[in-house]
A and B are shown apart, each in its own frame.
Chain A
Amino acid sequence: MENLIGLLVAVPLLGAAILLTGGRRLDRIGHWLGTILAAVSFGIGAVLFFDMLGKSGEDRAMYSHLFSWVPVGGFQADIGFQLDQLSMTFVLLISGVGTLIHIYSIGYMEHDERRRRFFGYLNLFVAAMLLLVIADNYFLLYVGWEGVGLASYLLIGFWQNKPSAATAAKKAFLVNRVGDVGLSIAIMLMFTTFGTFSFQPVLAHAGDASEGKLTAIGLMLLLAACGKSAQVPLQSWLGDAMEGPTPVSALIHAATMVTAGVYLITRSGAIFNGAPDAQVAVVTVGAVTLLFGAIVGCAKDDIKKALAGSTMSQIGYMIMAAGLGPIGYVFAIMHLVTHGFFKAGLFLGAGSVMHGMNDEVDMRKYGGLRTYMPVTFITFGLGYLAIIGFPGLSGFFSKDKIIEAAFAKGGTEGWILGGAALLGAAITAFYMTRVMLMTFFGEKRWEADAEGHEPHPHESPKSMTIPMIVLAFGSVFAGGLFSLNSSFLKWLEPVTGHEEGHSPLSATTVTAGTMVVLVIGVALAWLMYGRRAVPAVAPRGSLLTRAARRDLLQDDFNHVVLVRGGEHLTRSLVYLDHSLVDGAVNGTAAGVGGLSGRMRKLQNGYVRSYAVSMLGGTAVLIAATLLMRAV
């Protein structure tokens, strides 16, 4: 069984290699090949999963050591895999949702002449993400981490003839680099602290290291997670990443990429448990981001960007839960899985709407689409109910647990975090209802574009609707299934550990509170966008709305602080270089030149001058000798 682990990565990687090097001969079958290989990877994952189920909790982890990659003295980097319950959860999510998105893309990218290449990149993305989650050491994890960054760059900039897409891809790549630096520093710190970077020894000995070192490692891991998971302050790439084709957005937001940060923090739980300061930083980042993303999501008229704000916010929930320590790890991952279902479903639904509306993304030009696209409407609607936490659906179970855990943190911190989580739930209900109402309800607001093509909304082909239906099932039932007998908790507990929190509020109170804010959010959205007609042109809006439309000024902040600051820094460095460094060099040269010009005059070519110097020198020597004698 252990030998199968490597195949999880090898199969989609092989697909990427074939598709990207095969050339035009593969154009006709490329998309099928890519989809089948992704499905094979999922099949292997399922086989391993059932094998794992047959064992008892503690013995479920499987290890597979392939070969020693960099054996240099005390530095030992191996290609080895570790498949435990945490990795298994991710493997199933990545390959499962990934496969569905592959199927969806067959229809969505049908008219794109570079479809084969697109599937090659998708396979590469899945392979890199799988490598990230099944690596048994941080070094190999880093390889997958970078692979994910590369694949996201290629896919966000897939329509590279659009300058906006090319810029967005570069932006995503650069912002991710900042996080990657954090990860590489964390790995170096681990090596100096523990002498290794394999999960098992590092996590087993995390308790032996000093708290200062653990805090440093934890903060660097958090920086890495911020980059990949689009958390404040490295969140700015996520909105622009919507320039990529919609299946890519679904893949980035649901299965791969943004979940990597949550995985990293949960996997490194032992380190964070020993570094309370780092944990405070994690929950702060999570809480700030969950509100930040939610506020941005409220103001966007672009359906994909509204969903992107929502992803940022939901990942904020997960990061916050992971920062809570053993009371939150399991729920972070549980929310991650349920989120994977409904967010993928929502994005695929958005893609289906765009497909029927001539690629229009402005929700103010939608309206009343429920009669034209019934399947999309129902699947999107179920995803919507799941994300706002409608009782009985997936999001209800997972988000509720996170809010409970936040209150259970205890003290003032618990109240602040719990309050932020509740507020986030209210805003989530608001903006998702807004998306729903503006897209599927109300009067139709679309009109002919500049060339006179009026959109003819229509339901998408089967290849697109079937994945949406499957994901809708996940959105509805996953949460309940995981909560039945606390099955998900029991499944993950041997890996992440779990402690029951002691919440000042009872579980029923929290649930009731969540329901109240949910109703308030939905009602507010209905008052603003359901009862009144939505204007086809966005109103000016309040100051906050306008700021949120500009992503709460994140780019302006980056521009003023980082770009301008960087420019000033480089300019002053150039000035210093010219004045100080060059000045010293040129000054020395000029000084030596001037001095030698004067010295040259001594060499006048007259023999008698030389004779004088010889005579003078001799006289001085004799005088000195006599003086020394006298003394």
Chain B
Amino acid sequence: MNPVNYLYLAALLFTIGAAGVLIRRNAIIVFMCVELMLNACNLAFVTFSRMHGNLDGQIIAFFTMVVAAAEVVVGLAIIVTMFRSRHSASVDDANLMKL
């Protein structure tokens, strides 16, 4: 199968993720969309690795997963804390820093 198709899929997934980040208000959904974008990148990395025949892309994909796992821990903790204090997970409600 032509590996370019994987790239199309990665672009599609990234676009879905980006659109989700931009238009959804629920922090959990936004968070999930971010994950989707990260994984779209991973897919693109792996595909390029395959196309160019070296392992750099695969290694970076592993790095991304590790960093994403750490980010999920911190991000979910923030969202849970926010929900506890404000009884809402909407990103628009978090506007304390706004003038």
Question: Is B1 part of the binding interface, using a Cβ–Cβ cutoff of 8 Å?
Answer: no
A605 beta carbon closer than 8 Å to chain B: yes
Q: How far is A606 from B98 in the complex, measured between Cα atoms in Å?
A: 9
Contact A605 B98 (CB under 8 A): yes
Q: Name which of A603, A604, A605 has the most chain B CB atoms within 10 A of its CB.
A: A605
Interface readout for B1-41 with A: 1 if CB under 8 Å, 0 if not?
00000000000000000100111000000100000000000
A603 close to B22 (CB less than 8 A) = no
Q: Which residues of B contact A604 (CB under 8 A)?
A: 98
Kindly list chain A residues whose C-beta atoms are within 8 Å of the C-beta of B97.
Answer: 605
By the criterion CB–CB under 8 Å, are B22 and A608 in contact?
A: yes
Inter-chain pairs besides A604-B98, A608-B21, A615-B22, 13 sampled, C-beta below 8 Å: A603-B98, A603-B99, A605-B95, A605-B97, A605-B98, A606-B92, A607-B91, A607-B94, A608-B22, A608-B91, A611-B21, A611-B22, A612-B22
Smallest Cβ-Cβ distance to A609: which chain B residue: B22
Which of chain A's residues has its CB closest to B23's CB? A608
The digit string for A586-624, where 1 denotes a CB below 8 A from any CB of B, is: 000000000000001001111110011001000000000
User: Smallest Cβ distance from A424 to chain B, in angstroms?
Assistant: 85
3 tightest Cβ-Cβ pairs between the two chains A and B = A605-B98, A605-B95, A607-B91
- Minimum CB distance partner of B96 in chain A: A605
* B30 surroundings in chain A (CB, below 8 A): 607
Residues 71-99 of B contacting A (Cβ, < 8 Å): 91-92, 94-95, 97-99
Docked CA distance A261–B26 (Å): 95
Contact A615 B18 (CB under 8 A): yes
Expressed in whole angstroms, the Cα–Cα distance for A611 and B98 within the complex equals 16
Contacts of B18 in A (CB 8 A): 615
Whole-angstrom distance between the alpha carbons of A111 and B96 in the complex? 88
Question: Residue of A at shortest CB range from B27?
Answer: A607
Main secondary structure of the interface of A (DSSP, over half): helix
**Interface on chain B toward A: helix, strand, loop, or mixed SS?**
helix
Residues of B within 8 A of A605 (CB): 95, 97-98
Residues from chain A with a CB closer than 8 A to the CB of B23 are 608
Q: Which of A423-442 contact B (CB under 8 A)?
A: none
**CA A606 to CA B95, docked complex, whole Å:** 8
- Separation in Å of the A279 CB from the closest CB of chain B? 77
Count A interface residues, CB 8 Å.
10
**Chain B residues, CB < 8 A from A615:** 18, 22
Chain A contacts for B95, CB-based, 8 A: 605
Min Cβ gap A615→B in Å is: 6
Q: How far is the CB of A597 from chain B (nearest CB, A)?
A: 12
CA distance A604 to B98 in the complex (A): 7
State the Cβ distance, B18 to closest chain A Cβ, in Å.
6
Q: Which residue of B lies closest to A600 (CB)?
A: B99
What are some 19 contacts across the A-B interface (CB < 8 A)? A600-B99, A603-B98, A603-B99, A604-B98, A605-B95, A605-B97, A605-B98, A606-B92, A607-B91, A607-B94, A608-B21, A608-B22, A608-B23, A608-B91, A611-B21, A611-B22, A612-B22, A615-B18, A615-B22
In the complex, what distance in Å separates the CA atom of A138 from the CA atom of B29?
92
Q: Which residue of A lies closest to B25 (CB)?
A: A608
When distances are taken between beta carbons in the complex, the residues of chain A under 8 Å from B21 are 608, 611
Query: CA A603 – CA B98 in complex, angstroms?
Result: 8
Instruction: Give, as a whole number of angstroms, the nearest-CB distance from B41 to chain A.
Output: 13
Find residues 23-68 in chain B having any chain A CB closer than 8 Å to their own CB.
Answer: 23, 30
- A612–B20 alpha-carbon span in the complex (Å): 11
Q: Which residue of B lies closest to A618 (CB)?
A: B18
Q: Which residues of the partner chain B approach A600 to less than 8 Å between Cβ atoms?
A: 99
Min CB–CB distance A136 → chain B (angstroms) = 75
What sequence of 0s and 1s flags, for each residue 552-576 of chain A, a beta carbon within 8 Å of any chain B beta carbon? Answer: 0000000000000000000000000
* Chain A residues, Cβ within 8 Å of B99: 600, 603
User: How many Å from the CB of B87 to the closest CB on chain A?
Assistant: 19
Minimum CB–CB distance for B82 against chain A, Å: 12
Q: Which residues of B contact A607 (CB under 8 A)?
A: 30, 91, 94
A612 to chain B: which residues have CB within 8 Å?
22
* Complex CA distance for A615 and B19, rounded to whole angstroms: 10
> In angstroms, how far is the closest chain A Cβ from the Cβ of B37?
10
Q: State A504–B95 Cα separation when bound (angstroms).
A: 105
What A residues does B94 contact at CB under 8 A? 607
* A60 smallest CB distance to B (angstroms): 89
B98: which A residues are within 8 A, CB to CB?
Answer: 603-605
Minimum Cβ distance to chain A for residue B44 (Å): 14
CA distance in complex: A600, B99 (Å) = 10
B24 to chain A: closest residue by CB: A608
Specify which chain B residues have a CB less than 8 angstroms from the CB of A608 in the assembled complex. Answer: 21-23, 91
Which of A600, A604, A608 has the most B CB atoms < 10 Å from its CB? Answer: A608
CB-nearest residue of chain A to B22: A608
Please report the C-alpha to C-alpha distance between residue A607 and residue B95 in the assembled complex, in whole angstroms.
Answer: 9
Q: Which residue of B lies closest to A606 (CB)?
A: B92
C-alpha gap A303/B82 in the complex (Å): 102
A596 to chain B, nearest CB (A): 12
CA distance A611 to B92 in the complex (A): 13
Docked complex Cα distance between A611 and B20 (Å): 11
For the complex, give the distance between the alpha carbons of A607 and B97 in Å: 12
Chain A residue with Cβ nearest B94: A607
B residues in contact with A603, CB < 8 Å? 98-99
Task: Find residues 303-340 in chain A having any chain B CB closer than 8 Å to their own CB.
Answer: none
A533 to chain B, nearest CB (A): 96
**Counting chain B CB atoms within 10 Å of each CB, which of A600, A604, A606 scores highest?**
A606
Query: CA–CA, A353 to B46, complex, Å?
Result: 124
Which residue of A is nearest B19, CB measured? Answer: A615
Name the residue of chain B whose CB is nearest to the CB of A608: B22
Give chain B nearest CB distance to A584 CB in angstroms.
30
Chain B min CB distance to A486 (Å) = 97
- The complex places the Cα of A607 from the Cα of B78 at a distance, in Å, of 15
B contact residues around A606 at 8 Å (CB): 91-92
Task: Name which residue of chain A comes closest to B21, CB basis.
Answer: A611
